[in-house]
Structure 1
Amino acid sequence: MQTQKAQKIDLSVDYPCPCHRRGNLTPIALTEAFGCNRCQRIFVVQESGYVIEELSTNYPYKKAWRWTGNQWSTAHSGLGRAYLPLTLIIIFGVVFLLLVTTLQSPLSSSMTFRAIAALVLSAMLVLMLWLACRR
């Protein structure tokens, strides 16, 4: 799917609401903000006029959108996209090292057995975490 380039948000134009498709965002006088006539949410213009962000929300990470000319697209930060894979890699490494140092082979103290067992158990744990986070 081809992504469209974000356009600068004009403070004098009405836009559709990114949360409710039937609502319209109208500019709030003397501010750099928009209000939805349907859901009563307030959106503030950020990042040099290319992004709107929901102002008051209980959600810990504020939602943001970019205007592509005919629709809103979700604006993601670069760190947010890499957060889950980075966390899973760190967990995998820590669990692998802990298991290599604590596992004992039933036959002997073979390092190969310990490494393979730690690798399998670490991979299973990371897979379970990834599946849980995907939901």
Structure 2
Amino acid sequence: MPDNAATTATSALTSRVRTHLCRIAGQATPITYQALAKALDLTPPNTIHQVTVALEYLMAEDAAAGRPLIAALVVSKARGGLPAPGFFNTAQRLGRFGGDPSGPGAPAFYAAEFDAAVAFWRAAAEATETDDVA
């Protein structure tokens, strides 16, 4: 049986991650896992792991809702502008990516998903801001 405190903490972090990524989607510039952890003031240990777990939850939510993957806004500093392999593995598990996570199709899939995520989440953030002003 899952630990309720851990589930609650993951849910809270997932919400914070989505909120932050929605806020920066309009910049159309990816953020690194490390920068995201720092922006959220996460404390060690395992800050990157905390971020990746939250991103995987967001990917599942987005895939279930038919939305672009907001997690595409997050990249690995060590992978030349691509997300970590876990992004591709999760996208594969969710039926969104059919290639090899380290193969030649991964960058093209990522680029398309990034562009779709920026467009969708930028519009969503602008709609929210308009609703807040109205």
Structure label with greater radius of gyration: 1
Comparing both structures, which one devotes a greater share of its residues to strand?
1
TM-score (normalised: structure 2): 0.29
Greater relative contact order (CA < 8 Å, ≥ 6 in sequence):
2
Comparing both structures, which one devotes a greater share of its residues to helix?
2
TM-score (normalised: structure 1): 0.29
